[in-house]
Structure 1
Amino acid sequence: MVQDSLWERIEPLLPKVERRRRHPGRKRLDDRLALQGILFVLYTAIPWEFLPQELGFGSGMTCWRRLRDWHQAGVWDRLHQLLLAELHAAGQLDWSKAVIDSSHIRALKGGPKTGPSPVDRAKPGSKHHVITEGGGIPLAVSLTGGHRNDVTQLMPLIKAIPPVRGRVGRPRQRPDCLYADRGYDHDKYRRLVWRTGIKPIIARRGTPHGSGLGIHRWVVERTIALLHWFRRLRIRWEVRDDIHEAFMTLAAAIICWRRLVR
Structure 2
Amino acid sequence: MGRGDLSDAEWARLVPHLPRNIGRGGRWKCHRKVINGILFRLRTGIPWRDLPTRFGKWQTVYDRHRRWSADGTWEKILRSLQAGADAEGRIDWSMVGVDSTVCRAHQHAAGARKRVPRVPGKRTRPAWHRPDEALGRSRGGLTTKIHLASEGGRRPLALLITPGQWGDGPQMIPVLERLRVPRPAGGHPRTRPDCLSADKAYSSRRNRRYLRRCQIRHTIPERRDQRTHRRNRGSAGGRPAGFNRELYARRNEVERTVNALKDFRAAATRYDKRAYVFQGTVTVAAVRLWLRA
Would you call these one fold, judging by a TM-score over 0.5?
yes
- Greater C-alpha radius of gyration: 2
Alpha-carbon distance between aligned partners in 2 of 1:213 and 1:94, rounded to the nearest angstrom = 14
Which residue number in structure 2 is paired with residue 147 of structure 1? 165
TM-aligned CA deviation for residue 60 of structure 1:
1.9
Partner amino acid, structure 1, of 2:21: K
Q: In the alignment, is residue 192 of structure 1 matched against residue 190 of structure 2? A: no
2:250 is matched with which residue?
Answer: 216
Residue 33 of structure 1: aligned partner: 33
In 1, Cα distance between equivalents of 2:246 and 2:224: 15
Instruction: Provide the C-alpha distance between the structure 2 equivalents of 1:71 and 1:10, rounded to a whole number of angstroms.
Output: 17
Query: Partner of 2:281: helix, strand, or coil?
Result: helix
The answer to whether the aligner puts 1:105 opposite 2:123 as a matched pair is: no
Matched position secondary structure for 2:224: coil
Query: Which range moved further: 40-49 or 162-171?
Result: 162-171
Change (3 A) 1:82 1:28: closer
> For 1:198 and 1:184, how far apart are their aligned partners in 2?
15
Match of 1:87 in 2: 85
For the structure 1 residues 89 and 28, does the alpha-carbon distance in structure 2 shift closer, same or farther, using more than 3 Å as the test? Answer: closer
3-state SS of the aligned residue for 1:200? strand
Q: Could you tell me which residue of structure 2 aligns to residue 205 of structure 1?
A: 223
Match of 1:250 in 2: 284
Q: Counterpart of 1:101 in 2: which secondary structure?
A: strand
Partner of 2:69: 71
Native 8 Å contact 1:15 1:73 kept in 2: no
> Using the alignment, how far apart are the partners of 1:127 and 1:185 within structure 2?
19
User: Do 1:29 and 1:58's aligned partners in 2 also have CA atoms closer than 8 Å?
Assistant: no
The 1:28/1:160 distance shift into structure 2, 3 A limit, reads: closer
Taking a change above 3 Å as real, the CA distance of residues 218 and 139 of structure 1, as seen in their structure-2 partners, is same
Q: Which amino acid aligns with 1:134?
A: G
Q: 2-side partners of 1:144 and 1:253: how far apart?
A: 20
Please point out which of 136, 140, 147 is paired with 1:115: 136
Task: Indicate the RMSD between aligned Cα atoms, in angstroms.
Answer: 2.5
SS at match of 2:67: helix
Tell me whether 1:178 sits opposite 2:196 in the alignment: yes
Whole-angstrom distance in 1 between the partners of 2:86 and 2:168:
28
AA at the equivalent of 1:39: L
Q: Output one character per residue of 1:204-230: Cα deviation in whole Å (capped at 9) or x when no partner.
A: 11289x955651110000000000111
Structure 1 residue 168 displacement after superposition? 8.1
Aligned to 2:126: none
| TM-score normalised over the length of structure 2 | 0.77
Task: Give CA deviations for 1:89-108 in whole Å, capped at 9, x if unaligned.
Answer: 22221212211000111012
Amino acid corresponding to residue 50 of structure 2 in structure 1: F
* Structure 1 position 69, deviation (Å): 1.4
Instruction: Assess if the C-alpha contact under 8 Å between 2:82 and 2:181 holds in 1.
Output: no
- Code of the aligned partner of 1:14: P
**Cα distance between partner residues in 2 of 1:46 and 1:224:** 21
Aligned length: 248
* 1:18 to partner: Cα distance: 6.4
Q: Secondary structure at the match of 2:153?
A: coil
SS at match of 1:16: coil
Query: Matched residues in 1 for 2:29 and 2:187: separation?
Result: 41
**1:172 CA displacement:** 2.6
- Kindly indicate whether the alpha-carbon contact (under 8 Å) linking 1:115 and 1:124 is maintained by their aligned counterparts in 2: yes
Counterpart code for 1:115:
G
Tell me, yes or no, if structure 1 residue 239 matches structure 2 residue 273: yes
Q: Work out the CA distance in 2 between the residues paired with 1:58 and 1:168.
A: 39
Q: Distance in 1 between matches of 2:154 and 2:23?
A: 40
Distance 2:200 2:87 in 1: 34
